[in-house]
Chain A
Amino acid sequence: MAAPVEWPRAITHSLLYLDGVTVSFDGFRALNNLSLDLAHGEMRAIIGPNGAGKTTMMDVITGKTRPDTGEVLFDNGSIDLTREDEAAIAQLGIGRKFQRPTVFDDHTIEDNVLLALKGGRTVGRNLFWRSNGDAGRIGDILSTIGLAAHRRRLAGTLSHGQKQWLEIGMLIAQDPKLLLVDEPVAGMTDAETMTTARLLKDIAQDHTVIVVEHDMEFVRRLGVKVTVLHEGSVLAEGSIDEVSANARVIEVYLGR
């Protein structure tokens, strides 16, 4: 881990900076003194066994869970995320795809994207909203995620994999500074997984991204720096090859 003198530099140059974050549920520590920092424009893969605290970490970043202790700073340390609520954090530019795909079942696919689309979030703006050009943007996004043919279908009728993509499409529509993507390829076929990997790498060209995934093949394909979480703290960090060779990682995660 970084030496104390380097912390200020890390803070002021990171898009996201977590330090000493601890979260406990009825005495059980889901996150234990977790530290992480993410540069602007970086893409990071996070792996770790079930229950390692990956989702909880996203909960902390997006304001769903308040940490017991620790700092969560955003945008060069200028914003303390622990003080903001979910909506404010989303408006700051942090988008999230949930582990269990969550879309608005009773809305059409295009309405789902429309709701995610960057733009006014206040009641007043949306009461008097005019579409000017949104339709085109929505069309682009739907083509990107391959759902253009289904735009009028209700999202509730989509398959699991399609919902995953719709969620990714909604993320793109939000155009956030930081994307948190929780297990995007769970339940996908190999081919779909590869497509998704390509899509994410595309997105990562001009966004900062954190991807949580179990699928080692997928992570390898992303080809980015990997952080291994275990029991709520960082076990190892480095390229996929480095961490796969790490004895502790093999012991607790890879299991061989």
Chain B
Amino acid sequence: MITRRFLEAPDRRGWIFLALLAAAAIIVPALNLFVPSTSPLHVSTTTVALWGKYLCFALLALSLDLAWGYCGILSLGHGAFFALGGYAMGMYLMRQIGPRGVYAHPVLPDFMMFLNWKELPWYWYGFNHFPYAAVMILAVPGILAFVFGWFAFRSRVTGVYLSIITQALTFALMLGFFRNDFGFGGNNGLTDFKDILGFNVQSTGTRAALFSISALALGLGYLVAQAVVRSKAGKVLIAVRDAESRTRFLGYRVEHYKTFVFTLSACMAGVAGALYVPQVGIINPSEFAPANSIEVVIWVAVGGRGTLIGAALGAILVNYAKTQFTIGMLAPYWLFALGALFVLVTLFLPRGVLGLLPRPEPTGVPCSTSGPPAPKLRSAAGSPPVQPGGGEHASVSRPGAAAAQPVLAK
């Protein structure tokens, strides 16, 4: 019963989104595997891999939207959680190589042989078992986010301060993972994977399966996220986003809610990273680069923050555009386009692409007796005017100009 309550059914848009994902998960692999490559309907394996990658990015964007769109936590370090999940998966894949590496050592990955290491570092133990790796994919980003969030939110680091220290966090991790003695392959990262759960990572079938799993993961991620945001806890998250201290005066432990959503979001990002790595065949420290994390933010902003679906669409849209740009002659202009996207979206499209569509009805308090209230007769002010200056999320708790407009020192 409780689960029934928790898994609040998605709204109409949600169903459409899920249906599209399901269709993609079935049709795309089918067109790839069973339609001969001569047919115009055939989907090439590269395309499958490419779109599989987009789906992982979409899940990453969705996870960030959960934290940023609904709780106002603008993490500029979400790429770190993505990369950590990816590394966890990469470690599993490395250990699957076994004696097939260049140095043919039964246990040690090539890069350790290259560094003359004699034994496996303790943190590599267990990664030869998939269930253990699967737990780590969730646990490593989750625990990091939990500890980091616990300290940051308890001491009420908010707004841009939080953004900047999340950026510093991913920067620090990047520096660390670049080092050989960290034991994660240094500069080159982890690569040359052979198989996953006994299937060849390169084979067409595996790739198609990974695509479907990514679509599934995105759908699942969406279900969880929307269940959270539509629960009462989700309402608290929005309250925190718009008027943090007011929420506190109602007796909510804001730091618990923030830590919860941040951790959940990090776990989802970790899963996205884990699915990404076998599809692209490599994970290296540049995934931690602060620029990557900021790019995720723009995916969310393009799609529309605080919409979940928008974030996923935004990720796919921007990455599709990026691919189109970078394979063509326009490659040198991609960064111009991306930069312009940042500027234009914040200036002219504060609610993102999805914000151009009419806003869905605010959901009422569901009455257990009479079922969901009929959507009828909204008052004249039903669709609220966008407020001047503040966009939709401006609120009394961030009064007037910059919330913290400090004063010059004498």
Contacts and interface: CB of A to CB of B under 8 A. Distances in A.
Direct A/B contact, Cβ within 8 angstroms: yes
Interface of A: 62, 64, 85-87, 90-91, 95-96, 98, 100-108, 110-111, 114-116, 121-123, 126-135, 138, 149-154, 156-157, 170, 174
A90 B235 contact: no
B231 A106 contact: no
Contact of A87 (B253, B362, B394): B253
Nearest to B239: A104
Nearest to B231: A127
A114 B382 CA distance: 19
A148 B393 CA distance: 24
A85 B366 CA distance: 32
B236 A126 contact: yes
A156 B238 contact: no
Contacts of B368: 130-133, 135
Interface stretch (B108-116, B244-252, B311-319): B244-252
Contacts of B252: 87, 115, 121
Given A108-B362, A127-B233, A128-B2, A96 B249 contact: yes
A121 B242 contact: no
- What range describes how many residues of B lie at the interface? 35 or more
Contacts of B393: 106
A87 B254 contact: yes
Nearest to B240: A104
A103 B239 CA distance: 9
Interface of B: 2, 5-6, 228, 231-233, 235-236, 238-239, 241-243, 245-254, 256-257, 260, 361-362, 364-368, 378-379, 381-382, 384-385, 387, 392-397, 399
In the complex, the 9 A-B pairs of residues with the closest C-beta atoms, listed nearest first: A90-B251, A126-B233, A129-B232, A135-B367, A126-B232, A91-B251, A86-B248, A127-B233, A105-B395
Contact of A104 (B243, B366, B392): B243
Contacts of A130: 5, 368
A114 B235 contact: yes
A122 B257 CA distance: 8
B253 A105 contact: no
Contacts of A128: 2, 5-6, 231
Contacts of A106: 238, 241-242, 392-393, 395
A250 B113 CA distance: 88
A115 B249 contact: no
A123 B260 contact: yes
A174 B382 CA distance: 27
B367 A131 contact: yes
Given A86-B249, A90-B249, A132-B368, A104 B257 contact: no
